[in-house]
Amino acid sequence: MDMSLFPRRRLAHLPTPLEPMPRLSAHLGGPQLFVKRDDCTGLAGGGNKTRKLEFLIADALADGADTVITAGSVQSNHARQTAAAAAHCGLRCELVLPRFVPWEGPGYEVVGNVLLDRLLGAEVHLLPADTDRDAAMARVAEKARVRGARPYVIPVGGSNALGALGYVECAAELLRQAADLGIAIDALVTASGSGGTQAGLVVGCQRLAADFPVIGMCDAAPAQELAETVRALVAALGELLGGSRDIDWGRVEFLDAYAGAGYGLPTDAMVEAVTLAARLEGLLLDPVYTGKALAGLIDLVRRGRFRGDDTVVFVHTGGAAALDAYAGVFAGGGV
Ligand SMILES: *Cc1c(COP(=O)(O)O)cnc(C)c1O
């Protein structure tokens, strides 16, 4: 895989660490758990969108854009990282954020990611819950064009083939680190939402002949829907990268049992997972993605999915900036 063919604007602190989680592993009495620290990508709080934005922002700059537009939930980590990337590169940023998460936590529209969006200079459009995000981004782009600007629209989650390249690269980085540490990975677990992270990891791992499963924990969508999204992204990545396109789908899993009542809505298991990671490893997860994903991994461990001498890597995709928007849920507050 020659990634140097694709223009890239460096934004992330790489490589991110690959670290053991010995106290969490001992507490669960299960496999050896490691964490790939993509919460440490460094851009205004970091997270998985920064790797994608290296390719997307490079494309925007090559396009001559002076404005980037993207969309997400009110507490979108992707929106915050896009706002930071834009500020860093001297681009204007407009964010389309429909209020579709039925969460009434105090400060939900004021603190956390949306506070940072505003601080980073983005123009925030808080829109009604049922707003079609793609149509709304097209309208914002049209208005920008009328003003004489040159907008570039980044899809929700930065999840197109170009963005997913960031996670093809991450897979290569992870496999190098595992080799350096002398560990053999038996499973890789990631939160999965718009699908670009999981699609990139699947393509990167399989092209480098890694034979472990890549398990995606759905943030909301039914497993079937996420599977279709990831399949489409994997196909698009195949087009972009060329070469061998055979994917063993038997080694790609989609689990939707841990999403609870819906996107952005807390679950008891998420609260337990976030609390365990904090108290046993000093690690800050998030309420929307990584908390639910670790809750899923903990459940798999408790159900005996892994052997004691297995090595399982959890991808920490970031998101702790949203914790404040869920104050009251943690530290004994309950759901
Ligand atoms: C966006 C996001 C995800 C999901 O990544 P996708 O590539 O959209 O599937 C996971 N974790 C966090 C913290 C995120 O912000």
Mean pLDDT of 145-173: 98
Q: Is residue 222 over pLDDT 90?
A: yes
Phi, psi (rounded to 5 degrees) for 70: -145, 180
pLDDT mean across residues, the chain: 96
Residue 44 tokens, joined: 């205004």
Per-residue pLDDT band at 244 (split at 50, 70, 90): confident
State the DSSP string of 269-293: HHHHHHHHHHHHH-----TTTHHHH
Out of 19-28, 45-54, 126-135, 244-253, which region has the weakest mean confidence (pLDDT)? 244-253
SS (H, E, C) 146-194: HCCCCEEECCHHHCCHHHHHHHHHHHHHHHHHHHHHCCCCCEEEEEECC
Helices (H), 248-335: 268-281, 290-302
3-class SS of residue 259: coil
Q: Whose CA is nearest to atom 1 of ligand 1?
A: 157
Nearest to 269 by CA among 259, 278, 279: 259
d(CA 55, ligand 1 centre) in Å: 16
Per-residue pLDDT band at 4 (split at 50, 70, 90): confident
Q: Is residue 1 over pLDDT 90?
A: no
**Beta strands 32-37 and 18-20, pairing class:** antiparallel
Residue 294 tokens, joined: 């670790």
CA distance 203 to 171: 8
d(CA 197, ligand 1 centre) in Å: 7
Residue with tokens 């004691």: 308
Q: Is residue 101 over pLDDT 70?
A: yes
**Beta-bridge partner residues of 98:** 127
**Beta-bridge partner residues of 304:** none
CA distance 68 to 87: 10
Nearest to 79 by CA among 127, 123, 36: 123
Give the pLDDT confidence score for residue 230 in this predicted structure: 98
Angle at 285 between CA 89 and CA 213, to 5 degrees: 95
> Hey, how many other C-beta atoms are within 10 angstroms of the C-beta on 280?
16
- Computed on alpha carbons and rounded to an integer, the radius of gyration of the chain in Å comes to 19
Q: Which atom of ligand 1 is nearest to the CA of 322?
A: 13
Per-residue pLDDT band at 243 (split at 50, 70, 90): confident
d(CA 157, ligand 1 centre) in Å: 7
What residue type is 114 in one-letter code?
V
Q: Is residue 214 over pLDDT 80?
A: yes
In the structure, which protein residues have their CB atom closer than 6 angstroms to any atom of ligand 1? 47-48, 77-78, 157, 159, 191-198, 286, 289-290, 317-319
Q: What percent of the chain has pLDDT over 70?
A: 99
Give the pLDDT confidence score for residue 332 in this predicted structure: 63
Mean pLDDT of 113-136: 98
SS (H, E, C) 43-107: CCCCCCHHHHHHHHHHHHHHCCCCEEEEECCCCCHHHHHHHHHHHHHCCEEEEEEECCCCCCCCC
Q: Is residue 328 over pLDDT 90?
A: no
Contacts of 165 (CB under 8 A, 6+ apart): 3, 6, 52, 55, 200, 237, 240
Catalytic residue among 76, 159, 192, 194: 76
Catalytic site includes residue 76: yes
* 123 and 16 Cβ atoms separated by less than 8 Å: no
* 315 and 294 Cβ atoms separated by less than 8 Å: no
Q: Which atom of ligand 1 is nearest to the CA of 76?
A: 15
